Chains A and B, each alone.
Chain A
Amino acid sequence: MATIRLAVDVGGTFTDTILTDGEHVIASSKTLTTHADPATGTLQGVQRALQASGLTLADVTGFVHGTTLATNALIERRGAKTATITTEGFRDILDIAYERRYSQYDINIEKPELIVPRTRSFTIRERLRVDGHVLQPLDTTQIDTLVASLEGCEAVAICLLHAYANPAHEQQLRDELLQARPDLCISLSSEVSPEAREFDRLCTTGANAYIQPLMQGYLQRFSQTFTEQGLRCSILMMTASGGMCTLATAARYPIRLVESGPAGGAILAARVAAACELEQVLSFDMGGTTAKLCLIDQAQPQSSRQFEIARAARFIKGSGMPVRIPVIDMIEIGAGGGSIASVDHLGRLVVGPRSAGSEPGPVAFARGGADATVTDADATMGYLRAEDFAEGQFSLDAMAAQAALAAQIGTPLQLDAQQAALGVSRIVDESMASAARMHAVESGKDLATRTMIAFGGNGPLHACRVARAAGIRHILIPCDPGVGSAVGFLYAPVSFETVRSRYSLLDTLDCAAISTLLEQMQDEARSVVRQGSQAPLNTTRSAFMRYHGQGHEIEIPLPNGTLKEIDIANLRALFESAYSQQFSRPVPGMHIEILNWAVRVASPAPSTTAPTTLQHPGPLTGPRTGQKISAQTRPIFCDVNARTVEALYVERRQLRPGDSFQGPALVHEAQTSTLVASDFSAWVDAYGHLILEAKP
């Protein structure tokens, strides 16, 4: 049977659909997201793609779905009426949090609104010790009162102290509650996030409970809609970790579905990195309101187990709710085409995080936007042109953009419109480069040696400028850069990761007990993945280690099989070498401690080759010069020497592997344009990727 795979990415504005035959993208569509019932819009997009290729739903052999529904429900506070039950004496875990203000100098901050108010925060008498030993048994006499208090609640998050070490009290409480209220959706912290740190664990469990009724209903309707229309294969859901899971797992742990769209982009970049043998990559995904950056080493996107959702002050770290789930580690900053530029009361030029979004949008879109934006700056410099903008779907008014820049930025700073545009561009590009550098520093990594893989609506346009500010010299623009996330879904494996806290000192590690723990975790993860894949499974295990007294943990891979005493020396060596890499030297004589243990089970990634419009990608041949590509030129305002220059103008679909040319140039394609700055040269590799290199 032929392989026909579908990927659907339901975003806040658009729903992207990609259809492949396992080798190539055979159809794609972009439809408006239907918020009332996203399945309707999705079905339209899928049918359009199927019709274009003469197929029906019955021909589809694989279906991957990613959605922002979970994220949006949390941001917009549209979840269920949820209660929490914690250990007696700990009613205020959510309220007290980390006792911290997220902005040092702002005395008027407001903390994020809690998804569970104090009036629905309940407690029960019980207490476990740090090792799971029972100090006080669960007081079942309080259960009737609890049940009465839960009147009107749809979901409950149970988070008892140290339940990660012993789930018995949580399970017993759940069973008792379900006896009385079988309709409740109950999330246990020992299942959703079995890690020490009660605030993070309760946030994660609470968020899971909060979106569970909504997501269960959605997933059921979604699957029903497609089954009724003739879909025969099962649907797999994209998770934040860049892996897929079954509908059943998704309904149980809906919190793992947040931010799955951006994860798709990182998987695409990782896949390109693998194909092109790029060891160190920075993926750069810039859209209309935000830019997302991810470090990718040896074709593996950097992962993390902490993520912050629903920030009270957008883009300010610490203003949201932490959730501890496996995620692809990305930083998101408020810099996109719609970011608004202004001059503040000190005469400083500032850009973002305020955004004109898609409504009313930049001035240049002529849809009512009045504030000068990054897109307006690009239009003013001649990088976006009316005749080839957005497939002619709507017009681009460069003159209006220019006038807005001149008035709002140029006049206060005594610059003409183009210089003002250049200023805006440099400020926003510098902020993205700074965020990238900071992220690299926080990860103990370097940027200068990386290749930037740029995509998203504005990524290819700003790639050279951001790379220059970040000290990066190599850039790759993949094929179909405008729908990168959905393409990425098709490369995701079926996977599941579990993490468990058990505090140990490396020197006195109880190898037998830890081996048993890891075995249990592995069995649990395998049974989850088995539901979605029959392929041989890969298991990786790791420990999160740090020097005693430090706050930063490093993930160290563990050997397969039973841990033995002799592995300890090896683990110390691995830790010290990883530590030296990040901090230039180890600290001899300091104890090493382990907080968390992780097991990840994954199916092999689907064996599709990179979908590309090229039928037979040949071996990499390096740049061929001399081929005449295009005689067309356009005047642009050069971002390097601040003068108007003639830039080569190229249609991307006309480019063939081996073609090369010098900046300044603009490469145009359906959903985006690439600016090859005058200090960069470009060539096309065997896969059809556009490679940009800084001139020496």
Chain B
Amino acid sequence: MKTLSSASLQVMWNRLLAIVEEQGQTLIRAAFSPIVRECGDISAGVFDVQGRMLAQAVTGTPGHINTMAEAVMTLRARFPPESMRAGDIYMTNDPWLASGHLNDFLLLMPAFLDGEVVGFCACTSHLVDLGGLGMGPEGSDIYDEGLLIPPCKLVDRGEVNALLMDIVRANSREPIANEGDIYALIACCEAGVTRLTQMMREFHLSQLDALSQYIIDTSYRGTLAAIAKVPQGVYHNTLTVDGYDAALQLQASLRVSCEGMHVDFAGTSGCSPKGINVPLNYATAYTVFALRCIVGSDIPNNAGSLAPFTVSGPPGCILNAQHPAPVAMRHTLGQMTPDLVLGCLHQALPDQVPAEGASCMYDLPLRHTPESARNGGRRFALELVHNGGTGARPHLDGLSATAFPSGVYGSQVEMTEAVAPVVIWRRELRCDSGGAGQFRGGLGQRIEMSSEEDYLVFLSVERVQHPARGRAGGLAGAPGRIQLDEETVPGKCELRVSAGQRLVFDTPGGGGFGDPLQRDPRAVQQDLAAQWISDEAAQQHYGVSP
């Protein structure tokens, strides 16, 4: 094989990155699940013959970083490449193998060139409904949460396993959408494999080894160089979160060495009886995402850039939940792990890490009541997504009503009202909700709604009891709050709302960064003019008389 110049290798690397983005788009466009469409809750990647990830699409949610890379290794070990044939596709939704809860399905397809397996394409997508108690924290174990499919062959040489598809359909409240989503995943795998083999022919490659080595080595070296700029040591942080019915402690220690960064969750509370537990693969994904936002963020995700980041946790703690713990709402706490680990990293890099933010998205599934449906009322199921403020950055204010760490889109009021019998009366930023600081936390928002019919809401939100803390002298943001006719309700529950009742969500604000008295007085005046802070707050926190 001729040696490839670094410029040629870079062209091919760029091509692989383009292939996974195309795969991702194919999947998003055909998906039925709103969370996929609005949030890009999918993943797509290309792997070499050893199962090492070479490229991964940059999609809306970080929950698939690492999880897909590890899942491919597991499936490849379970189904040796020698046994694979062209047109085969493998599948699983095991939360401990795929992506932390049953809704996420992972598919893997080998790419064949001249009769040999030369690599793999994999993708993950969120399916609408897997039966059980449905998307909510109320399950007591994984069996309550619906259908689990162990690793299996979904497509045999191009032939879809009809029995398997029947089982998936028969176990869902949304059989047609589920089937559509699985076909979208199949199309995504096929598109990736076709593009990969086309590319190999175009560049006259018979195998990916040299390219794979170049991508992984370059990324590994670059990541280690970025880590080398972080002062070595062990840093500890504790984050108290609301939990289901009692507060929980999340603990992390971050060890920075010349070999990489390792996070351990020792000291973290045990599992909850309800479905907010997090498998370690999912906690790892969000943890590594947060670290990579600060360290080496310009290096794409692959086996080389991910290798220096490792995560462990005592089995049975809530961030390393073991089978058969219920995990349906694993994202509620999964989305809090960035604040946990950034609290460690801040000690090493005091000038680069933002304050804590609202973090957990206010994901509010609404559904008609069974009685209303029986009595001929309107049937609807809707997932409203709204966010609080992000933490202030060391040199910039936080972002108001903006998703972080997830990348969800907030729902538009006019679209919500088109598909459900609700009226939203207010959606406005909350004055004084951003934590005061030299740089102010992002503001949360207030959403008020009522309905002409009874409906159910499934709540699993955070930061109602424990607001986002500031850093370096910055103050905490406002906590979140949910009220029904002015009565406060807990952050995690199933809520029945009667027609005409007014439901109010206040999403949390982000924490501030730095001493508020150091804030530029012009910025305080601007905040006052825009009514982002009140006269009282200007006086109390910033020492500015309006």
Contacts and interface: CB of A to CB of B under 8 A. Distances in A.
Given A106-B297, A438-B25, A419 B5 contact: yes
B58 interface: yes
Given A107-B293, A438-B25, A90 B428 contact: yes
Q: Which has the most chain A C-beta neighbours within 10 Å: B7, B13, B400, B448?
A: B7
Contacts of A98: 409-410, 412
Interface stretch (A142-150, A297-305, A343-351, A656-664): A343-351
B6 A349 contact: yes
Contacts of A345: 222, 225
Contacts of B404: 101, 107
A442 B25 contact: yes
Interface in B397-428: 399-404, 407-410, 412-415, 417-419, 423, 425-428
A129 B423 contact: yes
B114 to A, nearest CB: 20
A587 B7 contact: no
A345 B293 CA distance: 17
A423 B5 contact: yes
B489 interface: no
Contact of B400 (A95, A105, A199): A95
A551 B402 contact: no
B408 A100 contact: yes
B386 interface: yes
Nearest to B292: A105
Contacts of B230: none
B21 interface: yes
Nearest to B26: A441
Interface in A587-605: 587-590, 595
Highest count of chain B CB atoms <10 Å: which of A108, A345, A422 = A108
B530 A101 contact: no
B198 interface: yes
B11 A430 contact: yes
Given A162-B417, A437-B18, A348 B187 contact: no
Nearest to A552: B29
Interface stretch (A110-118, A176-184, A533-541, A681-689): A110-118
Nearest to A165: B414
A369 B439 CA distance: 39
A547 B6 contact: no
Given A99-B386, A413-B7, A442-B29, A107 B409 contact: no
A135 B419 CA distance: 18
Nearest to A549: B32
A1 interface: no
Q: How large is the interface on B (under 10, 10 to 19, 20 to 34, 35 or more residues)?
A: 35 or more
A105 B293 contact: yes
A587 B180 contact: yes
A196 interface: yes
Contacts of B354: 107
A197 B29 contact: no
Interface in A304-361: 344-349
A100 B403 contact: yes
A351 to B, nearest CB: 10
B34 A198 contact: no
A346 B299 contact: yes
B205 interface: no
B427 A92 contact: yes
Contacts of B10: 348-349, 423, 427
Contacts of A127: 423, 425
A101 B402 contact: yes
B235 interface: no
Nearest to B38: A551
A502 to B, nearest CB: 10
A196 B415 contact: yes
Interface string A403-446: 00000000001110001101100110011001001100110100
B414 A346 contact: no
Contacts of A426: 7-8, 11
Contact of A100 (B34, B62, B402, B417): B402
A196 B418 contact: yes
A96 B427 contact: yes
A108 B395 CA distance: 8
Contact of A118 (B30, B34, B401, B531): B531
B429 A413 contact: no
Which of A93, A95, A129: most chain B Cβ within 10 A?
Answer: A95
A292 B367 CA distance: 45
A346 B221 contact: yes
B413 A198 contact: yes
B403 A99 contact: yes
A130 B11 contact: no
Nearest to A162: B414
Contacts of B31: 550-551
Contact of A104 (B18, B33, B62): B62
Contact of B401 (A96, A552, A595): A96
A583 B30 contact: yes
A346 B218 contact: yes
Contact of B18 (A108, A346, A434): A434
Contacts of B395: 108
A363 to B, nearest CB: 19
B184 A422 contact: no
B179 interface: yes
Given A92-B445, A119-B530, A427 B413 contact: no
Contact of A99 (B11, B22, B191, B408): B408
Given A99-B387, A130-B414, A117 B530 contact: yes
A161 interface: yes
Contacts of B180: 547, 587, 590
A90 B426 contact: yes
A222 interface: no
Interface string B198-222: 1000100000000000000011011
B403 A427 contact: no
A420 B412 CA distance: 49
A423 B14 CA distance: 13
A626 interface: no
A503 interface: yes
Nearest to A135: B423
Nearest to B530: A118
Given A89-B448, A99-B402, A100-B403, A427 B415 contact: no
Nearest to A583: B30
A559 interface: no
Given A91-B428, A95-B401, A587-B176, A198 B221 contact: no
Contact of A108 (B60, B393, B400): B393
Contacts of A97: 410
Nearest to A409: B7
B198 A549 contact: no
Given A98-B410, A550-B31, A585-B183, A89 B402 contact: no
Contact of B14 (A99, A109, A434): A434
Contacts of B530: 117-119
Nearest to A588: B176
A236 B202 CA distance: 48
A111 B191 CA distance: 34
25 contacts: A89-B427, A91-B429, A92-B445, A104-B62, A105-B58, A105-B292, A111-B399, A118-B531, A135-B423, A196-B415, A197-B412, A345-B225, A347-B6, A348-B13, A419-B7, A423-B6, A434-B14, A551-B31, A583-B30, A583-B184, A587-B32, A587-B176, A587-B179, A590-B32, A590-B180
Given A119-B530, A549-B34, 11 more contacts: A89-B448, A92-B428, A95-B400, A96-B401, A96-B410, A101-B402, A101-B404, A108-B395, A129-B417, A427-B14, A442-B25
Closest 4 pairs (CB-CB, A-B): A423-B7, A99-B410, A89-B426, A551-B37
